[in-house]
């Protein structure tokens, strides 16, 4: 039988990286086994459920490239089926009615204003084999009767989850470890329905620096935030796959299709993992560098279009296209792009204070150097090699090597010590007049 798995988020907030990782591992399992990946929206919590978030959720999953084969199926549409199962439980004596004070109420008919609790059998041992954790055992004596139906006429998570998994023919439930404790209850529910148990695989949790479970409330971990920071979806899924799993050959940066080939759910770790933004950035920059020119231009567009830190009318797409070749390899995220080119589209460079202090700390030297540079730039050939040569010579006059000598000029022209290759940028994207103006402006500010 072909595996059937599902990702079952509840639309109570933005998709966060932990959920995305669960979605990814379900997807990987389905794709690597030839199974079916189903999307199910668990929207039974009427209080917190927000329909508009569902659309957002689907968008994020699409962005990540985690396409689903069936669904989205909305749990809220299965209300009648859930009611039917609960009613049967009541009739068969598996469950009982109870009031607001948790007192048992006589009767076997679902009644408005009354909740339903599942009766926990006494003295039973419940074991199951988890694909990640191995054999896990619980005693029913440690568990209590639990609510499966709210007094407001809606099903509880465990019930809806068990019924839907059974009805959808889910063969493998792959999800976060925070749900491990709920398994014995679900198994009891499944037994009461007389259906087979799915196989479980509980993924290690993703934790914050305090080693606590990542939460949408206290941790800034929405997938959308990373998209907006300029991370690539392929880098995101690649990094997420590395949390709790490692490729046997040690090659970490590889595409999703390649990961599908070597992924095995049984290789997943048991221990919680910390989401390390530095490593994520490293992976992202690697994917960024590997982008074709055309692809890069397309992806970077949102960061240099509307909202970029320069007047829109100053933007010159041809200049940017030239610059793209020079800066693509330097970016860690797409949002780094503007600050590598902003000086071209601003009237005045946006001068970074630290950079200024560092390079102009000796105003005499800086002024003399910039003076020599300006003089030699007056009527030279406007070419990369020529400019580089002239700055080298200017540097020699104040006893500085090119590495040091270019710094004040770079800050005068671009406003920062870090940026694209200076001489090429000047010769290709700036006029002699512009450069001389900036040198002269900088000297006045010394």
Partner RNA sequence: GCCCCGUUCGUCUAGUGGCCUAGGACGCCAGGUUCUCAACUUGGUAGCACGGGUUCGAAUCCCGUACGGGGUACCA
Instruction: Name which position in 13, 71, 169, 182 contacts RNA (CB under 7 A).
Output: 182
Burial code (b: 16+ CB inside 10 Å, e: under 16) for 152-178 equals eebbbbbbbbbbbbbebebbbbbbbbe
What does the CA dihedral 170, 109, 124, 139 come to, rounded to 10 degrees?
A: 70
DSSP string, 253-289: ---HHHHHHH--GGG--SS-EE--HHHHHHHHHHHHH
Q: Quick check: 98 binds RNA (CB under 7 A)?
A: yes
Residues numbered 202 to 231 that lie near RNA (CB under 7 A) are: 204-205, 207, 210-213
Closest to 243 in 3D by CA, of 19, 413, 430: 19
Nearer to RNA by C-beta: 108 or 111? 111
To RNA, the closest distance from the beta carbon of 436 in angstroms equals 18
**Which listed range, 41-49, 87-95, 224-232, 307-315, lies at the site for RNA (CB under 7 A)?**
41-49
Q: CB burial class (10 A; 0-12, 13-18, 19+) of residue 313?
A: exposed
Nearer to RNA by C-beta: 35 or 177? 177
The 3-state DSSP class for residue 173 equals strand
To RNA, the closest distance from the beta carbon of 42 in angstroms equals 3
To RNA, the closest distance from the beta carbon of 137 in angstroms equals 6
The 3-state DSSP class for residue 174 equals strand
To RNA, the closest distance from the beta carbon of 306 in angstroms equals 26
Q: Quick check: 109 binds RNA (CB under 7 A)?
A: no
Residues pairing with 40 in the sheet: 73
- Cα angle: 203, vertex 217, 41; to 5 degrees: 55
Instruction: Name which position in 34, 123, 194, 248 contacts RNA (CB under 7 A).
Output: 248
Q: What is the Cα–Cα distance from 189 to 163, expressed in whole angstroms?
A: 8
Nearer to RNA by C-beta: 374 or 426? 426
To RNA, the closest distance from the beta carbon of 260 in angstroms equals 17
The answer to whether the beta carbons of residues 70 and 9 sit under 8 Å apart is no
What does the CA dihedral 128, 130, 136, 140 come to, rounded to 10 degrees?
A: -50
Residues numbered 111 to 170 that lie near RNA (CB under 7 A) are: 114-115, 133-139, 142, 144, 146-147, 150-152, 154, 156-158
Residues numbered 350 to 389 that lie near RNA (CB under 7 A) are: 384, 388
Instruction: Name which position in 252, 290, 301, 367 contacts RNA (CB under 7 A).
Output: 252
Residues numbered 398 to 417 that lie near RNA (CB under 7 A) are: 402-403, 406-407, 410, 417
Q: Quick check: 200 binds RNA (CB under 7 A)?
A: no
To RNA, the closest distance from the beta carbon of 236 in angstroms equals 14
Q: Quick check: 59 binds RNA (CB under 7 A)?
A: no
To RNA, the closest distance from the beta carbon of 287 in angstroms equals 12
The answer to whether the beta carbons of residues 56 and 225 sit under 8 Å apart is no
Convert 414-426 into a string of H (helix), E (strand) and C (coil): HCCCCCCCHHHHH
Residues numbered 265 to 324 that lie near RNA (CB under 7 A) are: 267, 269-274, 276, 278-279, 282, 285, 289
To RNA, the closest distance from the beta carbon of 313 in angstroms equals 28
To RNA, the closest distance from the beta carbon of 112 in angstroms equals 11
Q: Quick check: 245 binds RNA (CB under 7 A)?
A: yes
Q: What is the Cα–Cα distance from 99 to 76, expressed in whole angstroms?
A: 24
Burial code (b: 16+ CB inside 10 Å, e: under 16) for 206-232 equals bbeeeeebbebeebebbbeebbeebbb
Nearer to RNA by C-beta: 35 or 244? 244
To RNA, the closest distance from the beta carbon of 312 in angstroms equals 26
Instruction: Name which position in 59, 81, 330, 437 contacts RNA (CB under 7 A).
Output: 330
Q: CB burial class (10 A; 0-12, 13-18, 19+) of residue 319?
A: middle
Instruction: Name which position in 10, 36, 238, 333 contacts RNA (CB under 7 A).
Output: 10
């Amino acid at each position: 039988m072909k595996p059937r798995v599902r990702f079952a988020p509840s639309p109570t907030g933005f998709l966060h990286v932990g959920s995305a990782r669960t979605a990814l591992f379900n997807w990987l399992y389905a794709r690597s086994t030839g199974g079916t990946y189903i999307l199910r929206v668990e929207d039974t919590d009427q209080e917190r459920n927000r329909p508009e978030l569902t659309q957002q959720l689907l968008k994020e999953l699409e962005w990540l490239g985690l396409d689903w084969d069936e669904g989205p199926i909305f749990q809220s549409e299965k209300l009648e089926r859930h009611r039917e199962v609960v009613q049967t439980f009541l009739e068969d004596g598996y469950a009982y009615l109870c009031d607001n004070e948790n007192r048992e109420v006589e009767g076997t008919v679902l009644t408005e204003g009354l909740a339903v609790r599942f009766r926990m059998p006494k003295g039973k041992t419940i074991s199951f084999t988890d694909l990640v954790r191995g054999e896990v055992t619980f005693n029913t004596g440690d568990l209590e009767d639990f609510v499966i139906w709210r007094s407001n006429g809606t099903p509880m998570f465990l019930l809806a989850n068990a019924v839907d998994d059974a009805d959808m023919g889910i063969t493998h439930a792959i999800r976060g470890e925070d749900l491990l404790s709920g398994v014995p209850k679900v198994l009891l529910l499944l037994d009461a329905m007389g259906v087979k148990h799915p196989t479980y695989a509980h993924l290690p949790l993703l934790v914050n620096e305090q080693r606590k479970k990542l939460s949408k409330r206290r941790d800034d971990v929405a997938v959308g935030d990373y998209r907006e920071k300029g991370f690539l979806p392929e880098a995101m899924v690649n990094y997420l796959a590395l949390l709790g799993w490692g490729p046997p050959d040690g090659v970490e940066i590889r595409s999703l299709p390649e990961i599908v080939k070597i992924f095995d759910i049984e290789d997943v770790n048991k221990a919680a993992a910390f989401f390390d933004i530095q490593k994520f950035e490293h992976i992202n920059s690697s994917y960024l560098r590997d982008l074709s020119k055309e692809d890069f231009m397309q992806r970077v567009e949102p960061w240099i279009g509307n909202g970029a830190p320069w007047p829109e009318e100053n933007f010159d797409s041809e200049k940017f296209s030239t610059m793209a070749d020079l800066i693509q390899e330097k970016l860690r995220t797409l949002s780094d792009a503007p600050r590598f080119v902003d000086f071209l589209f601003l009237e005045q460079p946006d001068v970074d204070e630290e950079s200024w202090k560092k390079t102009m700390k000796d105003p005499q030297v800086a002024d003399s150097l910039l003076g020599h540079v300006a003089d030699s730039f007056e009527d030279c050939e406007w070419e990369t090699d020529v400019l580089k040569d002239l700055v080298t010579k200017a540097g020699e006059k104040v006893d500085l090597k090119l590495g040091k000598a270019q710094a004040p000029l770079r800050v005068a022209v671009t406003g920062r010590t870090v940026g694209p290759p200076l001489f090429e940028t000047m010769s290709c994207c700036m006029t002699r007049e512009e450069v001389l103006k900036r040198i002269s402006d900088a000297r006045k500010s010394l």
